[in-house]
Amino acid sequence: MSKGAFELTRKIPLAQSAKEKWQTAARQLMTVEPVIDARVDQRGILRIRYDASAIGIHDIASLLDELGIPRNADLWWKLKLAWFAYVDENARANAHTSGGACCNRPPAVNGATGAVDVREWHVHE
């Protein structure tokens, strides 16, 4: 199976709970269309693969809350969650952009940067 351009894999540490509850949650997450794979290992780590152009880590966290699955709440995880949210938002923005350059000046054909020669600038006093 080929990996999509916006497909991400995350490891989410879950708080202690019954293993059956974890497995049920993983099966229910698999019913959400942008989720490609969801599994919980014996240590309570949810490994989830999803299309970040359609869903983000905060959406996954909300789904876990709805399923009654608490997550690890230490500072390290909170920092990782913020980073994951940042990356997911960038992926979603890139997926839905119309493309093209960030400015209206295309790159030069000869490999030059296309930058304006500063000697052409005029200083107004």
The C-alpha atoms of residue 61 and residue 50 are separated, in whole angstroms, by 13
5: confidence class by pLDDT, cuts 50, 70, 90: confident
pLDDT-derived band of residue 105, with 50, 70 and 90 as boundaries? low
Nearest partner of 45 among 27, 72, 18, 82, judged by Cα:
72
Determine which of 51-55, 77-81, 98-102 has the lowest per-residue pLDDT on average: 98-102
User: Which domains does the chain show, CATH number per domain?
Assistant: 7-95 (3.30.70.100)
Mean confidence (pLDDT) of the chain: 82
Task: Please list the residues that pair with 40 across neighbouring strands.
Answer: 46
Q: Model-level pTM?
A: 0.71
Cross-strand pairs, 37? 49
pLDDT reported for residue 36 = 94
Instruction: Give the pLDDT confidence of 65-95 residue by residue, as tens digits.
Output: 998 899 888 899 999 999 999 999 988 888 8
Q: Which residues lie across from 51 on neighbouring strands?
A: 7
